[in-house]
Amino acid sequence: MRVQVEASVLAQAIKFLAVARHPKTSTHTLNHLLITSDGSHLRLVATDGVCWAEYRIPVAAEPSQLVTFRHLLGSLATELSEPLTLSWDGAGRLRCSFTNGEYYLPAMDSSDFPLPPVGEQGVEVEIKGLGELVRKVAFAAATNPHEGLFHGIHLNSNGSVLEVVATDTYRMAIARTPLPDGTPPFKTTIPAPTLKSLAPYISDSEVTVRVGGSFVTFSSYPWQVTITAYSGSFPDYHRIIPTNLPYQLQVDSLQLQKVLRRTASFTTASKIYVTSPPRLIFHLDHHPLVILYHSAEGLEIATEPLSGRWLTDPAGFYIAIQHRFLIEFLSTVKAGDITIGVSDPTKAILLQPPDPTWLYVVMPMVLPAPYELSAKPQRQPTGQND
């Protein structure tokens, strides 16, 4: 093989292949790069054993294939701004030459490299803006890979609308988009980290999604990504969405973000509160109040008024929410008012952004004793001068 390719194009291709993450592993081929040529394109393939990422570069070359270290070739291409000539030196090395130098990379037999799977034809659909839908829900997926389906992002088509869903069983985010007429129904669940890595490449342009058997393929020339889907049935998440919400408060998302950021340093496992992090409590009265309460000390650490407008009568009770669950959601909301819908301090809370195709459901935390439904707590001082 002998081929000349612009170093910047090669660097861009290898950067894309990071979608198929290469963890430190004893299986060498998962850290490698398969390079093949069919005469008109240079095809680069990388895999982590679950995802196969491919990138095609239009360039004339003799048909051949070899395997080398992707991080070495990527580092070299990134540092150059001129054409790079790749050739097989006949001694088990890939020769990379340019105007003032040449580098030799280890090259291996390609027969051991796990090729991308060929799945069933299945359902094929064109979707635009899929990456933005993934961005809106990915934060709600479980972070532990051992949680199976909950570590994934679920795609559910009823033929007219696609729902993109993520949940860790404590909170759930759903984003929807219409589908072209005649789209068949389908369901599949894909590992969240892989889909999050792919999201920037499928945010603006239209992407072809093919769901067949155990694999889901995303493609948009010059790249293609094939991902192994989770097996099993995703839970019936529609029944979790609360519908009877007699109390609804509308608040500015940016103002609420500022309040939460000011309280963030107190909610982490700091040296001061390492044994019992404070809880975030909302007093949903005529004048809403955000309270940071430390259960072990039995004291309010901070209180801030929350500017908002009741769309209904005020709820008149307290409700506790996991700080992280709320700030992660608000970080994805760019601006505008969100509507907080509640029915009871122990039942699911619905947060509705300005975009009606997007919603977030979160389960409340257990209220500390002074703030239980039946209690009218005696406010504790927040400082020595109170």
3-state secondary structure 95-159: EEEECCEEEEEEEECHHHCCCCCCCCCCEEEEEECHHHHHHHHHHHCCCCHHHHHHHEEEEEECC
Shared domain for 275 and 300, answered yes or no, is yes
With a CB cutoff of 8 Å and minimum separation 6, the contacts of 274 are: none
Residue where one domain finishes, among candidates 217, 239, 261: 239
**Counting Cβ atoms within 10 Å, is residue 238 exposed (0-12), middle (13-18) or buried (19+)?**
exposed
Residue 113 to residue 106: CA distance in whole angstroms: 15
Average confidence (pLDDT) over 216-245: 94
Q: What are phi and psi of 18, to 5 degrees?
A: -65, -10
Q: Is 377 a domain residue?
A: no
Residue 282 to residue 323: CA distance in whole angstroms: 11
Average confidence (pLDDT) over 263-292: 75
- What is the three-class DSSP state of 172? strand
Kindly state the tokens that stand for 351. Answer: 């947060």
91: pLDDT strictly greater than 80: no
377: pLDDT strictly greater than 50: no
State the total domains in the chain. 3
Q: Which domain holds residue 336?
A: 242-371
What is the percentage of the chain residues whose pLDDT exceeds 90?
65
pLDDT band at 374 (very low <50, low <70, confident <90, very high): very low
- What is the three-class DSSP state of 353? coil
Choice between 179 and 376, residue whose per-residue pLDDT is larger? 179
Sign of CA dihedral 82, 88, 94, 99: negative
Q: Average pLDDT over the chain, rounded to whole?
A: 88
Res 59: pLDDT: 92
Res 381: pLDDT: 40
384: pLDDT strictly greater than 50: no
Average confidence (pLDDT) over 157-186: 95
Residue 242 to residue 348: CA distance in whole angstroms: 7
Shared domain for 84 and 197, answered yes or no, is no
Range of 155-169, 258-272, 372-386 with top mean pLDDT:
155-169
Range of 63-67, 307-311, 376-380 with top mean pLDDT:
307-311
Shared domain for 93 and 152, answered yes or no, is no
Residue 201 to residue 209: CA distance in whole angstroms: 13
With a CB cutoff of 8 Å and minimum separation 6, the contacts of 137 are: 153, 164, 165, 166, 173, 174, 175
Shared domain for 195 and 247, answered yes or no, is no
Res 15: pLDDT: 94
pTM equals: 0.89
Shared domain for 249 and 358, answered yes or no, is yes
Shared domain for 63 and 174, answered yes or no, is no
pLDDT band at 268 (very low <50, low <70, confident <90, very high): low
Shared domain for 197 and 294, answered yes or no, is no
Shared domain for 189 and 164, answered yes or no, is yes
Q: Is 166 a domain residue?
A: yes
- Note the pLDDT tens digit of each residue in 242-257: 999 999 999 999 999 9
Q: Is 288 a domain residue?
A: yes
151: pLDDT strictly greater than 80: yes
- Note the pLDDT tens digit of each residue in 278-320: 788 999 999 998 988 876 667 888 899 998 999 999 999 999 9
Residue where one domain finishes, among candidates 239, 269, 299: 239
- Of 106-110, 224-228, 292-296, the one with minimum mean pLDDT is 292-296
272: pLDDT strictly greater than 80: no
Shared domain for 224 and 255, answered yes or no, is no
Q: Is 380 a domain residue?
A: no
pLDDT band at 379 (very low <50, low <70, confident <90, very high): very low
Res 249: pLDDT: 96
CATH number at 28 reads 3.10.150.10
227: pLDDT strictly greater than 70: yes
Average confidence (pLDDT) over 9-38: 81
pLDDT band at 112 (very low <50, low <70, confident <90, very high): confident
Length in residues, the chain: 386
Residue 145 to residue 330: CA distance in whole angstroms: 25
Contact in structure between 34 and 65 (CB atoms under 8 Å): yes
Choice between 79 and 277, residue whose per-residue pLDDT is larger? 79
One-letter amino acid of 200: P
Residue where one domain finishes, among candidates 170, 204, 239: 239
10: pLDDT strictly greater than 80: yes
Contact in structure between 282 and 291 (CB atoms under 8 Å): yes
Res 62: pLDDT: 82
Shared domain for 140 and 232, answered yes or no, is yes
pLDDT band at 373 (very low <50, low <70, confident <90, very high): low
Residue 78 to residue 7: CA distance in whole angstroms: 7
Reference 162, options 194, 209, 201, 119; nearest CA is: 209
- Long-range (24+ apart) CB contacts under 8 A made by 238-244 are 240/167, 240/172, 240/348, 240/361, 241/174, 241/348, 241/350, 241/359, 241/361, 242/341, 242/343, 242/347, 242/348, 242/349, 242/350, 242/361, 244/343
Q: Is 117 a domain residue?
A: no
Residue 350 to residue 172: CA distance in whole angstroms: 10
Q: Is 367 a domain residue?
A: yes
